[in-house]
Amino acid sequence: MHRAARTASLALVAASALTLTACGGSGGGDVSAGSKQTLTVWAMGTEGEKLADVAKVYEKAHPNITVKVTPVGWDVAHQKLVAAAAAGKLPDVMQMGSTYLGEFADMGALEQVDAKVFKKGDFFPSAWDQGVYDGKSYGVPWYVDTRVLFYRTDLAKKAGLTGAPATMADLQKAAEAYQDKAGSKWGLQIQPSGLDAVQSFYPFLYSAGGAVLDSGGKPVVNSPAAVKVLEYYGSYYQKGLSDKTFRPGYDVTKDFNTGAVPMFFGGPWMVGLLDANYPGLKGKWAVAAVPADKASVSEAGGSSLTISADSTHKAAATEFITYLTDAKGQADWYERTKDLPANSEAWQSGELATDTSLKVFRTQMETAEAVPAQPRLTEITSEVDDAIGSYTQGKSSARAALDKAQSAIKSLVR
């Protein structure tokens, strides 16, 4: 979520929290799933647009159900959800990003997941964990993403490299070789500062055994491991291997195409962008797992599907979410959107089982980690953004930057 949206919504959050604590879960009797009814659904971005097509298919098999899908832009999603929650007008089913879920669960706006219907073992562990708040599950994983290493294989040959870097030490050596021998302007693209710099930092932090919050929600961002990682991260800028200037809206694929940037960490959506926009690059790039430190660990992202605590259509909502998140529904969703399935069984056939690039993402998801859900998670990660920028821009030491973040985060966690 963007900072502008965060700031604009703070007053609404404060005002609605008390209201929702009182009214959450107080809706009237639930309509049976077999009754004639209209199910309201909000989904964000491209998913909101594509879900309407799936809803039409679902309605044919369930003629008693009308599914009314409202697409919502990610830029206004948080404000719209908060306003609807405060007014008691949330839809029956909502797509919920991982940064939102803790906030709305804490308000009492979300129904707990029915453990008899949805099984944790059907999904990637980190995908399921994104829907857990205060030890209770409020979201069913819908799709996942994680970041892996994209690298130019043709330039790697010029640089005298054989294969992808396997360790973090290898990664920096490869960055140096790309510059010195292959003529790349930079060795690796990682974000130096600004909004969501933490997204770029996560693979380094998690692979070293560090974290922003531990599994119990305790801040640990200034641990010795985290300090060491930030120093290593900053060394790419100190050695001139990465661009220390933050450029909002920067499109790394353009520099990847020219060879100015031969390596970057990116999600599955990057595969489609490269194939569509730079067909001449085909066969000249590949993806690989995050180079290992103590282990190879990346961040877990994606979205969950949630049910409003005040919905009177919970039974029908549960059946619709089941349809979207079982193995068959997830495989169909991938074909429509290329969103990676959260249900692990969906990966056992078709392109998901055979595509080499997709296998890398699947393997990475097995070890991916998610920040524990918190009501003020976006503010928490913003503090880490500031710490990263403070160090990479030479304003403070890594220790001082992370100590400051740790102190601020302590006041933000629940």
pLDDT tens digits, residue range 316-346?
999 999 999 999 999 999 999 999 999 999 9
Whether residues 282 and 269 fall in one domain: yes
Whether residues 246 and 268 fall in one domain: yes
Average pLDDT for residues 285-314, to the nearest whole number? 97
Whether residues 183 and 254 fall in one domain: yes
Which pLDDT tens digit goes with each residue over 30-72?
999 999 999 999 999 999 999 999 999 999 999 999 999 999 9
Q: Are 92 and 307 in contact (CB under 8 A)?
A: yes
The two three-digit tokens of residue 156, written as one number: 């790697």
73-78: long-range contacts, CB 8 A cutoff, minimum separation 24: 73/44, 73/45, 74/1, 74/44, 74/45, 75/2, 75/5, 76/5, 77/1, 77/5, 77/44, 78/1, 78/5, 78/6, 78/9
Cβ neighbours for 107, distance < 8 A, ≥ 6 positions apart? 16, 17, 20, 21, 24, 85, 375
Whether residues 255 and 310 fall in one domain: no
Whether residues 129 and 96 fall in one domain: yes
The DSSP secondary structure of 13-39, one letter per residue, reads HHHHHHHHHHHTT---PPPPTTS-EEE
Average pLDDT for residues 378-384, to the nearest whole number? 97
Give yes or no for residue 282 having a pLDDT over 50: yes
Give the model's pLDDT for residue 22: 35
Evaluate whether residue 368 is within a structural domain: no
Evaluate whether residue 226 is within a structural domain: yes
Give the model's pLDDT for residue 393: 97
Cross-strand partners of 343: 123
Evaluate whether residue 267 is within a structural domain: yes
Whether residues 266 and 385 fall in one domain: yes
Evaluate whether residue 94 is within a structural domain: yes
Residue 227 sits in which domain range? 148-299+376-410
φ and ψ at residue 37, rounded to 5 degrees: -165, 165
Whether residues 229 and 260 fall in one domain: yes
Q: Side-chain half-sphere of 398: how many Cα atoms within 13 Å?
A: 15
Whether residues 99 and 233 fall in one domain: no
Between these two residues, 376 and 20, which has the higher pLDDT value?
Answer: 376
Give the model's pLDDT for residue 29: 74
17-26, 313-322, 360-369: least confidently modelled range = 17-26
Give yes or no for residue 127 having a pLDDT over 90: yes
φ and ψ at residue 404, rounded to 5 degrees: -65, -45
Spatial separation of the C-alpha atoms in residues 138 and 184, rounded to whole Å: 46
Spatial separation of the C-alpha atoms in residues 39 and 316, rounded to whole Å: 7
In the numeric block, the tokens 């890398």 are attached to: 360
Evaluate whether residue 234 is within a structural domain: yes
Give the model's pLDDT for residue 2: 36
Whether residues 391 and 346 fall in one domain: no
Spatial separation of the C-alpha atoms in residues 400 and 398, rounded to whole Å: 6
Which pLDDT tens digit goes with each residue over 170-205?
999 999 999 999 999 999 999 999 999 999 999 999
Which pLDDT tens digit goes with each residue over 136-158?
999 999 999 999 999 999 999 99
Average pLDDT for residues 16-40, to the nearest whole number? 66
Evaluate whether residue 128 is within a structural domain: yes
Whether residues 264 and 167 fall in one domain: yes
Query: For the chain, how many structural domains are there in total?
Result: 2
> What is the band of 19 on the pLDDT scale with cuts at 50, 70, 90?
very low
Global pTM reads 0.90
Whether residues 8 and 38 fall in one domain: yes
DSSP H helices in 159-223: 168-182, 197-207
Spatial separation of the C-alpha atoms in residues 13 and 22, rounded to whole Å: 14
Provide the CATH number for the domain around residue 82: 3.40.190.10
Region of residue 400 (left: phi > 0; alpha: psi -120 to 50; beta: else): alpha
Buried b / exposed e along 325-335 (16+ C-beta atoms within 10 A): bbbebbbbbbe
Give the model's pLDDT for residue 10: 38
Evaluate whether residue 87 is within a structural domain: yes
Evaluate whether residue 281 is within a structural domain: yes
Give the model's pLDDT for residue 93: 98
Average pLDDT for residues 284-303, to the nearest whole number? 97
Give the model's pLDDT for residue 4: 35
Give the model's pLDDT for residue 14: 40
Give the model's pLDDT for residue 205: 98
Give the model's pLDDT for residue 313: 98
Cβ neighbours for 280, distance < 8 A, ≥ 6 positions apart? 257
Average pLDDT for residues 286-300, to the nearest whole number? 98
Percent of the chain with pLDDT over 90: 91
Spatial separation of the C-alpha atoms in residues 153 and 162, rounded to whole Å: 9
Mean pLDDT, rounded, of the chain: 93
Spatial separation of the C-alpha atoms in residues 107 and 201, rounded to whole Å: 30
- Whole-number Cα distances in Å, 210 to 18, 91, 264, 340: 35, 38, 21, 26
Whether residues 282 and 307 fall in one domain: no
Minimal CA–CA distance to 206: which of 126, 299, 130? 299
